Amino acid sequence: MCWNYPESMITLQKTEGNLKTNQESDSEFVQWIEISNQISSLDQHTLFGCTYVPPEFSKYSSDESFIEIEEELLIFSQGIKNIVIVGDFNARTSSLKDYVDDDINLQEILQIEEDIINDNTSSYSILKENNILQRFNKDTGRVNKYGTKLLDFCKRCNLFIANGRLFSDNGIGHTTCKDASMVDYLLLSPNSFNITTDFEIIDFNPMFSDVHNRVHFTMKIDNDNHQKNLTFNQKVDQHVRWRSDKTNEFIQEINDDPNNSLNELNIMLNKMNENTQVASFIKKLNNLL
């Protein structure tokens, strides 16, 4: 599965058996999509979120935006470890940490519950083992209020910023807006690092956005068995070879038009501007030929 933000979004509608589910969101700042493991190669479901948080000084800004996103994440992510959130947070984070340092002594002093300590230690280890603990960012400007909120959101929800860490953006941290700031992010849960196969910030193109670069990422969630079944059941196209010895017979068939097919095609062609039935026209033409 390949996503590009902001110029396109994948929308998965409900199908029989709830194989694909559109999660109903009450928030104006995020849309959720859950992909069942029945149509993927993963052991668990995968939760995708696409966000837009208006700039903090605009008339549409809301200090509750990050709280709303977090509350819905807690609801929709129950029992799900593969979590992916992408979007424009209008948050400038510089290269500040999006994780809590693995300080066992401090955790014991604060009497943090053991399961939380284990989760944090495991997540910290994933970053450290893959040598992506440090996050890079070309946007070294002032961290704004939403930047602080985003970093706190990541720490509380055990999510990590992919920008400046993965693939072609590793060690760079390209800006995503006006070639000056990083405000568009891909956030991943620890488990999602294993299924992410590509990440990059694509050069700005005015055809796709007013001022934003595209955030491109690819995830490996295909179900090989499902794909094989689909391929096996697909109709194989049969290519008919032209036989020159049948030329006269073909011409005679066209001239006779026993099924009145040419007349029907002519009527359809005349009505094409009024009611575009291109698919039906092509099908009838193929049947005739």
**DSSP class of residue 183?**
-
| Number of neighbours of residue 133 by Cβ within 10 angstroms | 15
What average pLDDT does range 170-197 have in this prediction? 96
Q: How confident is the model at residue 18 (pLDDT cuts 50, 70, 90)?
A: very low
Q: Which pLDDT belongs to residue 282? A: 65
Half-sphere exposure at residue 112, Cβ-oriented, CA atoms within 13 angstroms: 17
User: Cα–Cα–Cα angle for 5, 83, 122, nearest 5°?
Assistant: 130
Distance CA 285, CA 278 (A): 10
What average pLDDT does range 147-162 have in this prediction? 96
**Best-predicted range by mean pLDDT (11-20, 81-90, 97-106):** 81-90
Contact 35, 48 (CB under 8 A): yes
Q: How confident is the model at residue 72 (pLDDT cuts 50, 70, 90)?
A: very high
Q: For residue 56, is pLDDT > 80?
A: yes
Contact 66, 53 (CB under 8 A): yes
Taking alpha carbons only, the member of 185, 216, 187, 181 closest to residue 200 is: 216
**DSSP class of residue 76?**
H
Distance CA 176, CA 163 (A): 10
What average pLDDT does range 22-41 have in this prediction? 84
Dihedral sign, Cα of residue 276, residue 278, residue 283, residue 286:
positive
Contact 199, 176 (CB under 8 A): no
Q: Which pLDDT belongs to residue 285? A: 62
| Dihedral over alpha carbons 251, 255, 256, 259 (to 10 degrees) | 100
Question: What's the token pair of residue 215?
Answer: 């955030």
Distance CA 10, CA 184 (A): 17
| Number of neighbours of residue 187 by Cβ within 10 angstroms | 24
pTM of the model: 0.71
